[in-house]
A and B are shown apart, each in its own frame.
Chain A
Amino acid sequence: MFDDFFIRALVAGIGIAFVTGPLGCFVVWRRLSYFGDTLSHSALLGVTMAYTFDLNIAISVFLISSVIALILIQLQKKTNLPGDALLGLLAHSSLAVGLVVIGFLTFIRFDIMGLLFGDILAVTTNDLLVIWTGGALILIVLKLIWKPLLASTVNYELAEAEGLNPDRAKAIFTILMAAVIAISIKMVGLLLITGMLIIPAAMARNISDSPQKMVLFSIIGGLLSVILGLYSSLEFNTSSGPSIIAAALILFILSLFKIKQSIKLKN
């Protein structure tokens, strides 16, 4: 059944959408989109490492992204540079270093476009296993830290005072971010992963009145984007990442009409 590359891509994309939906909501709520960018840009280093040492791409991306996240947390403590400058510094330098390293790896032919923008031909049966087991693990962990994470998103001090240990929840969430980037890099491409996290969540915000509903609509939006995007990718022979993100954008634009309606109703 997974012989057809397109079916594989579809199954992979659906698995990814289930995970990016809820995580994307937290990225929007906690204003972490640049953090997501930084982690995904650094993923290129992970990919080069995977090729050099013949590792699984997802695992090596996960490791590198986690290391970058740790470095970021250390830098935030040790320097006075503002957060966005630090993020930019890490994002672009890790992307640059990744590209330079690729230049040295002349013995491997890289499909740079595929890495940056995703490639549906690249998804193997093995990747499906990584995406679905990794994805299930991410969702289970997110479910476990849901309460402390949401409470500290609303108010850190409230969560801390009432014994929910928000720092631990934040640290675990950072690891989950690295993990979601690792499982979605092949499909969506490292330049566009943050879009997959943010756009369905932003769409969901426009039509939700509670955190749980926003998560649900964000998943549905992601699923629709993947399905629409992959079919058009096949139809028009475009890269999978941009096609999925463009589909998500269309859903977002449609959700804006819902807002206009509700504003009109209020008046």
Chain B
Amino acid sequence: MNSNNNILVKLNNAGFRQGEKWLVEGVSLTVEKGKIVTLIGPNGSGKSTTAKIALGIYKNIEGTVEKYTTKVSYVPQKISIDWTLPIRVYDFMLLTETIEDSAIDEALSLTGVIHLKNKNLGSLSGGEFQRVLIARAISKKPELLVLDEPVQGVDYTGEIALYELIKKISDTLNCGILLISHDLHMVMKATDHVVCLNGHVCCSGSPIDVAKNNEYKALFGEKASQILTTYEHKHDHVHSDEGEIKKN
């Protein structure tokens, strides 16, 4: 039945319940090779839960998950390193898979943190840590990359560069990416498919379709819809909050 062998992971009507409370339910989505699928939605709408369902972290789920790859990299939303564990960036790069030093250096250079290679992981700033997390994830050359708000705490210029890197990774490695992001600009620019969550799938489709969707507008407001639709044609400027036009 499933003749499309580009599919990496497929959720069919998936949901997860903690006690009596549904964290998310009725999610169907597909991540294919070379494609970026982005999950958006307000806090508590089940974005991370959906990612964890796709990754197989949650076991007792409703619906089904079909996974067609074992080469998976994950950037979780939050990792805290206990002081009792001395671990350098270098050790962390080798955490789940043994990879060559050259691949480690390359990944750390791509995310701009090669100078931190021998630093203790606990001494990094939030933004530096995110860059290391992304470097570790891409150094494994995964087929499926799941990124849960990967650029939180990263400075503005770094954020753009990292998103460009993620887009490039998806092209060069031909890997499928499941991305959770709050940055609607980014969502529009690089994403192939957007899934808007609010405890369930409130709408999904291409970024433009989603932006025009009424449920999406109700959830994020008219302004967010404009952000997305402005990308419908090529732009060399952005609109500030006051409506001024700023050249890029």
Chain A residues within CB distance 8 Å of chain B: 28-29, 31, 147, 150-151, 153-155, 157-164, 205, 208-214
Contact with A205, one of B73, B79, B84, B97 (Cβ below 8 angstroms): B84
A151-B95, A161-B72 as given contacts; A213 in contact with B84, CB under 8 Å: no
B16 contacts chain A at the CB level, 8 A cutoff: no
B82: nearest residue on chain A (CB-CB)? A29
B167 contacts chain A at the CB level, 8 A cutoff: no
A163-B70, A209-B120 as given contacts; A158 in contact with B95, CB under 8 Å: yes
B201 contacts chain A at the CB level, 8 A cutoff: no
Q: Is the CB of B55 within 8 A of A160?
A: yes
A155: nearest residue on chain B (CB-CB)? B79
Contact with B74, one of A31, A161, A211, A213 (Cβ below 8 angstroms): A161
Chain B nearest CB from A210 CB (Å) reads: 5
B87 contacts chain A at the CB level, 8 A cutoff: yes
Q: Is the CB of A150 within 8 A of B120?
A: no
| Residue numbers in A under 8 Å from B86 (CB-CB) | 205, 208-211, 213-214
B106 contacts chain A at the CB level, 8 A cutoff: no
A159-B96, A160-B55 as given contacts; A28 in contact with B84, CB under 8 Å: yes
Query: CA separation between A264 and B56, bound complex, in Å?
Result: 46
Q: Is the CB of B95 within 8 A of A150?
A: yes
Q: Is the CB of A161 within 8 A of B57?
A: yes
| 8 closest residue pairs by CB, A with B | A161-B74, A161-B55, A162-B96, A29-B85, A208-B86, A160-B57, A151-B95, A155-B79
Query: CA separation between A158 and B133, bound complex, in Å?
Result: 11
| Residue numbers in A under 8 Å from B82 (CB-CB) | 29
B185 contacts chain A at the CB level, 8 A cutoff: no
| Residue numbers in B under 8 Å from A158 (CB-CB) | 74, 76, 79, 95-96
Chosen A-B contacts, 24 in total, with CB atoms closer than 8 Å, are A28-B84, A29-B84, A150-B95, A151-B95, A151-B96, A153-B85, A154-B79, A154-B85, A154-B92, A157-B76, A158-B79, A158-B95, A161-B72, A161-B74, A161-B146, A162-B74, A163-B70, A163-B72, A209-B86, A210-B86, A210-B88, A210-B90, A211-B85, A211-B91
B61 contacts chain A at the CB level, 8 A cutoff: no
Chain B residues within CB distance 8 Å of chain A: 52, 55-57, 70, 72-74, 76, 79, 81-82, 84-88, 90-92, 95-97, 120, 140, 146
Query: CA separation between A205 and B96, bound complex, in Å?
Result: 22
A214: nearest residue on chain B (CB-CB)? B86
| Residue numbers in A under 8 Å from B81 (CB-CB) | 154
Query: CA separation between A265 and B220, bound complex, in Å?
Result: 51
Query: CA separation between A212 and B92, bound complex, in Å?
Result: 12
| Residue numbers in A under 8 Å from B90 (CB-CB) | 210
| Residue numbers in A under 8 Å from B85 (CB-CB) | 29, 153-154, 211
Contact with A147, one of B52, B87, B96 (Cβ below 8 angstroms): B96
| Residue numbers in B under 8 Å from A153 (CB-CB) | 85
Q: Is the CB of B73 within 8 A of A162?
A: yes
Chain B nearest CB from A215 CB (Å) reads: 10
B77: nearest residue on chain A (CB-CB)? A157
